[in-house]
Chain A
């Protein structure tokens, strides 16, 4: 059974940092690109970032470029999102996702809530 479990969310002040993790199981992690998607309270889905199977290629939404860094540890079957210089508008549930092929995400974690507030 494919399983994705996010962790690392919490309350942080503006300007602070957090690192999210996504533990993957039930599939061959190192053969799939992976994504981060977020959803602010009561709002729609927003794509955040994508990483290639070996981590050599990463892409980001403009709103997080230069502040967020996606990475992966294939030996640990774990995806990461390092979030720096956090803003109030980064407040959201953050989901990791595994695509069918490239961007069509067929498996999602349960999400982890990040709250940026003073």
Chain B
């Protein structure tokens, strides 16, 4: 089973700052099958990034994804007030089919 570990657990930053979120996989993620989601309280998750670095429809270009193999990063270049939320990484190419990381909470400092 591919286990995804996200760090940090909580990230405290101010609007305008740069955020870097990490996702580590216990084994290589095949076919770049790695996505990032944003979730706000009381809402369903929202797909931000798929296939490591492709922005989903409607994702602002301040969000970018990178990485390969076992190490992946979500970067938010300049935080807006609406970006404070919980972020999850997800792999969908391994065994079991799909796993999520435990999440990173991005909070206002």
Contacts and interface: CB of A to CB of B under 8 A. Distances in A.
13 contacts: A45-B37, A45-B39, A47-B90, A47-B98, A47-B100, A50-B97, A60-B96, A100-B50, A103-B33, A103-B35, A103-B91, A104-B33, A108-B46
A44 B4 CA distance: 12
Interface string A97-118: 0011111111011110000000
Contacts of A104: 33, 35, 47, 50-51, 56, 90, 92
Nearest to A63: B96
A10 to B, nearest CB: 19
Contacts of B91: 103
Interface in A68-116: 95, 99-106, 108-111
Interface residues of A, number: 24
Given A45-B88, A103-B90, A104-B51, A109 B44 contact: yes
Interface of A: 35, 37, 44-47, 50, 59-62, 95, 99-106, 108-111
A100 B47 contact: yes
Contacts of B7: none
